[in-house]
Chain A
Amino acid sequence: MEKNRRLFISRLKQTLTGKYLSVDEISEQETEFLVWKNQLPEVCRLLLEQRGGRLFTMVGGDERSWTGTLALYYVFAFDKTQQFVTVKTLVSEEEPTFPSLAAEFPAFNWYEREVKDLLGLRPQGHPDPRPLTLHGDWPEEIHPLRKEFPADEWVARVESREAFMRYQGQDVTEIPVGPIHAGIIEPGHFRFGAVGDTVLHLDARLFYTHRGLEKISEGQPLAKALFIAERICGVCALSHAVAYAQAVETAAATEVPLRARYLRSLFLEVERLYNHIGDVGNACAGFGLAVGISQGARLREQLLQLNERVSGHRYLRGIVALGGMRSDLSAAEFADILHTLNRVEAEFQEIAEIILSHDIAINRMHNTGVLTLQQAVDLAVVGVAARASGRDIDVRRDQPYAAYDRLKFSVPVYPEGDVLARIRVRIDEVTQSCHIVRQVLAQIEPGPVCCELPAIAPHRRGIGWVESSKGETVHWLLVGADEMVDRYRVRSATFSNWPAVPLTVPGNIVPDFPLINKSFELCYACCDR
Chain B
Amino acid sequence: MFEIIRRIWKTGVVTQQPLVLAAPPRYRGKLIIDQADCSGCGRCESICPTGAIRLQPAPGGHKTGGQKIVVSYGKCVFCGLCSEVCSGGAISQSQDYRMATRQKNELLQYGG
Contact = CB atoms under 8 A, between A and B. Distances in A.
Nearest to A312: B26
A291 interface: yes
Interface string B19-33: 010011011100000
A308 B24 contact: yes
B39 to A, nearest CB: 22
Nearest to B5: A291
Interface string A209-247: 000000000000001101100000000000000000000
B49 A224 contact: yes
Interface in B1-29: 3-4, 7-8, 11, 14, 20, 23-24, 26-28
Nearest to B95: A312
B7 A354 contact: yes
A508 interface: no
B3 A310 contact: no
Interface in A294-326: 294-295, 298, 305, 308-313, 317-318, 326
A95 interface: no
A350 interface: yes
Interface in A73-118: none
B28 A313 contact: yes
A439 to B, nearest CB: 24
A301 to B, nearest CB: 8
A295 B3 CA distance: 13
Contacts of A350: 7
Contact of B14 (A298, A326, A351): A298
Contacts, number: 46
Interface centre among B7, B8, B78 (most CB of A within 10 A): B7
A291 B4 contact: yes
B27 A312 contact: yes
B79 A227 contact: yes
A231 to B, nearest CB: 8
A308 B49 contact: no
B77 A227 contact: yes
Contacts of A223: 47, 49
B94 interface: no
B77 A295 contact: no
Contact of B28 (A298, A309, A310, A318): A318
A312 B8 contact: no
B3 A354 contact: yes
Contact of A318 (B3, B11, B79): B79
A308 B84 CA distance: 19
Given A224-B49, A298-B11, A298-B14, A354 B4 contact: yes
Nearest to B26: A312
B51 to A, nearest CB: 10
B42 interface: no
B50 A309 contact: no
Interface in B57-80: 77-80
B7 A291 contact: yes
Contacts of B3: 353-354, 357
Contacts of B79: 227, 317-318
A227 B50 contact: yes
A353 B27 CA distance: 35
B24 to A, nearest CB: 5
A47 B4 CA distance: 52
Contact of A295 (B11, B47, B50): B11
12 contacts: A223-B47, A224-B49, A227-B50, A291-B4, A298-B11, A308-B24, A309-B24, A310-B26, A311-B26, A317-B77, A317-B79, A318-B78
Identify the 10 closest CB pairs spanning chains A and B, nearest first. Answer: A312-B26, A227-B49, A309-B24, A318-B79, A312-B28, A224-B49, A312-B27, A291-B4, A354-B3, A298-B14
Interface of B: 3-4, 7-8, 11, 14, 20, 23-24, 26-28, 47, 49-50, 77-80, 84
Given A227-B49, A311-B26, 16 more contacts: A223-B49, A227-B79, A291-B7, A291-B8, A294-B14, A295-B11, A305-B20, A308-B23, A309-B24, A310-B26, A312-B24, A312-B27, A317-B79, A318-B79, A318-B80, A351-B7
